[in-house]
């Protein structure tokens, strides 16, 4: 389904929102692109030239303006180039192991200016995986927060280490104060993002920097970004979703507020005290904010609440909009395919749970098991095509492609209005007694129970049915519920073959930093019966 069929702002309106009428900004962007090429490095320089005193990053330590960010990035770039230069004159990659703060952004821009490939490392990586990624991706320098010093040391990696948030001679603040200039790079570097690793060790997906600009005109037509917005980015920056919104924010010379770690109470208070144009989250963060005792009238509602990175259930979308207004956008894609579809508030009201429709420049196709387009809204394999697809994995492998189309790994269907609905991950599907069960449907029903905080469902081996449905449930504080009650609850809403035969009560679920359940770790959790 071509994205050009979807309504949105005209190209002229998009251009005006992006500052096309600002001649001084246009000149700054042209000069910055001549110097650095197209990417975040040029975006920061352009913003520094036109809006130098505007706050670029606001974090736990305060605020830094665009002029300072630009100068700091050039000084750090000079050091990264020197540290990463190999005996043969080539440049090794720069690994960034940081939480959300100004030095993550500085390191990202500096690595691009140095001409080094940037590898964004998950803050949840164990030492063994970190060592594997560093060796596989040719990391010569790692920029890491002080809290990760032990993990870095245990990994035994052979790389220079710079401290992101410290104050010593090898800290970015010390290097940035040096004021050393950095000449434009002789090569166009790439960006490497790690997959979520929910089914095993993460893979490294390579992107060209041009694909990390403003997400394409199609995205800009569907989502009302503006020049000089104010964001709160709660989603981790090392993840594709948080990174994409960081890039949009820098490209629009916006002020980007962030915290090292997400604390729902703090974000809730900030939403009452400050007016943001955009709140960038993953669905679990929406749930945590909704659980706060906040009066809807006390919240200074953002123009846009942008959610991605995991499944946004219809119930959660409806509850958020009922409480805080119809300003919610659900964005679907993957590390490999980039942004695939967007559901705006109208979509989410008309078809709760949908991930929407593809923007301009993205082709969406549902293929059946024979590789043919699915007909009449039947479910099949979701495939996307766009110029933003990744270039392959650093180990030399590639994603599952059908010509120009790339599989997302999800099963989905299109409704009568062309909106995409995701049934679940293909490799999460449970086959029990010949019936197919997608965990997300059972999880959503369990999540509606007043005594359930969150639930995850997997298939376990069964000698009679092949697999049986097993649920892992985190109860709400001071609530009591037993397994039979939950089975009855599910049975009232779903077919009998979808009712969990095993119910395990646990204190927490193993999750990635973006709220995805790590399903292969569920089997070692908890105990069955009751609480």
Using one digit for the tens of pLDDT, what is the confidence trace for 62-89?
Answer: 999 999 999 999 999 999 999 999 999 9
Confidence band (pLDDT; 50, 70, 90) for 25?
Answer: very high
Specify the pLDDT at position 528.
45
Give yes or no for residue 379 having a pLDDT over 90. no
Range in 147-151, 204-208, 252-256 the model is least confident about: 204-208
Residue 162: beta bridge partners? 143
Percent of the chain scoring above 90 in pLDDT:
64
Quote the tokens at residue 373: 């387009």
More confident: 228 or 392: 228
Give yes or no for residue 29 having a pLDDT over 50. yes
Confidence band (pLDDT; 50, 70, 90) for 215?
Answer: very low
Specify the pLDDT at position 255.
98
Confidence band (pLDDT; 50, 70, 90) for 210?
Answer: low
Q: Report pTM.
A: 0.86
Q: Give the DSSP H or E segment for 285.
A: helix 283-290
Range in 9-13, 134-138, 368-372, 394-398 the model is least confident about: 9-13
Range in 205-214, 298-307, 406-415 the model is least confident about: 205-214
Q: What is the pLDDT of residues 472-528, one digit of tens each?
A: 999 998 888 999 999 999 998 888 889 999 999 999 998 887 778 888 787 666 444
CA distance 262 to 247: 20
Contact yes or no for 101/78 (Cβ under 8 A): no
CA dihedral 47, 50, 51, 57 (to 10 degrees): 10
Confidence band (pLDDT; 50, 70, 90) for 304?
Answer: very high
Range in 30-44, 193-207, 276-290, 299-313 the model is least confident about: 193-207
Average pLDDT for 250-263: 96
CA distance 101 to 163: 13
Give yes or no for residue 437 having a pLDDT over 80. yes
Percent of the chain scoring above 70 in pLDDT:
94
Contact yes or no for 431/471 (Cβ under 8 A): no
Confidence band (pLDDT; 50, 70, 90) for 377?
Answer: confident
Specify the pLDDT at position 336.
87
Specify the pLDDT at position 1.
45
Average pLDDT for 228-251: 95
Contact yes or no for 306/278 (Cβ under 8 A): yes
| DSSP category for residue 184 | P
Contact yes or no for 424/440 (Cβ under 8 A): yes
Contact yes or no for 109/35 (Cβ under 8 A): no
Q: Which residues contact 434 (CB under 8 A, 6 or more apart)?
A: none
CA distance 242 to 193: 12
Confidence band (pLDDT; 50, 70, 90) for 529?
Answer: very low
Enumerate domains of the chain plus CATH numbers: 19-213 (3.40.50.980), 429-528 (3.30.300.30)
Range in 211-220, 250-259, 378-387 the model is least confident about: 211-220
Confidence band (pLDDT; 50, 70, 90) for 201?
Answer: low
More confident: 34 or 434: 34
Residue 161: beta bridge partners? 142
């Amino acid at each position: 389904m071509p994205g050009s069929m979807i309504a949105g702002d005209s190209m002229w309106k998009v251009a005006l929102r992006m500052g096309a009428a600002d001649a001084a900004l246009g000149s700054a962007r042209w000069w910055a692109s001549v110097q650095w090429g197209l990417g975040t490095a040029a975006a920061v320089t352009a913003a520094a030239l036109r809006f130098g005193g505007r706050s670029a990053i606001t974090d736990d330590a305060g605020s830094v303006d665009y002029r300072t960010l630009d100068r700091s990035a050039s000084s750090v770039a000079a050091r990264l180039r020197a540290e990463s230069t190999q005996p043969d004159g080539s440049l090794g990659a720069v690994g960034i192991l940081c939480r959300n703060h100004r030095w993550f952004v500085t390191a990202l821009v500096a690595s691009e200016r140095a001409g080094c490939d940037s590898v964004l490392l998950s803050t949840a990586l164990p030492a063994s995986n970190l060592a594997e990624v560093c060796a596989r991706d040719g990391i010569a320098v790692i920029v890491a927060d002080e809290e990760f010093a032990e993990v870095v040391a245990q990994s035994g990696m052979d790389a220079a280490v710079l401290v992101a948030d410290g104050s010593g001679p090898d800290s970015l603040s010390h290097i940035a104060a040096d004021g050393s200039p950095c000449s434009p790079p002789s090569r166009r570097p790439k960006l490497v993002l790690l997959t979520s690793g929910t089914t095993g060790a993460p893979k490294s997906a390579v992107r060209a920097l041009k694909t990390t600009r403003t997400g394409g005109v199609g995205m800009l037509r569907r989502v009302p970004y503006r020049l000089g917005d104010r964001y709160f980015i709660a989603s981790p920056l090392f993840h594709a979703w948080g990174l994409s919104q960081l890039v949009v924010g820098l490209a629009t010379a916006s002020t980007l507020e962030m915290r090292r770690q997400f604390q729902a109470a703090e974000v809730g208070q900030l939403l009452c005290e400050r007016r943001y144009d955009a709140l960038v989250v993953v669905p679990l963060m929406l749930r945590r904010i909704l659980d706060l005792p906040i009066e809807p009238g006390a919240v200074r509602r953002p123009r846009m609440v942008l959610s991605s990175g995991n499944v946004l259930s219809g119930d959660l979308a409806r509850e958020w909009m009922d409480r805080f207004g119809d300003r919610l956008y659900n964005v679907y894609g993957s590390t490999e395919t980039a942004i695939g579809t967007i559901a705006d508030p109208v979509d989410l009201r008309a078809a709760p749970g949908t991930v929407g429709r593809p923007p301009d420049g993205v082709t969406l196709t549902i293929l059946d098991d024979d590789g043919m387009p699915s007909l009449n809204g039947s479910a099949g394999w979701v495939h996307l095509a766009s110029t933003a697809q990744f270039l392959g994995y650093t180990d030399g492998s590639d994603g599952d492609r059908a010509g120009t189309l790339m599989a997302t790994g999800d099963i989905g269907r299109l409704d009568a209005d062309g909106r995409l609905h995701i049934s679940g991950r293909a490799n999460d599907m449970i086959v029990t007694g010949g019936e197919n069960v997608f965990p997300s449907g059972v999880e959503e029903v369990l999540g509606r129970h007043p005594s359930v905080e969150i639930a995850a469902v997997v298939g376990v081996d069964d000698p009679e049915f092949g697999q049986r449905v097993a649920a892992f449930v985190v109860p709400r504080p001071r609530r009591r519920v037993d397994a039979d009650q939950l089975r009855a609850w599910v049975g009232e809403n779903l077919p009998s073959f979808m009712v969990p035969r095993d119910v395990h009560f646990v204190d927490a679920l193993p999750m990635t930093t973006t709220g995805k359940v790590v399903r292969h770790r569920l089997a070692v959790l908890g105990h069955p019966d009751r609480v």
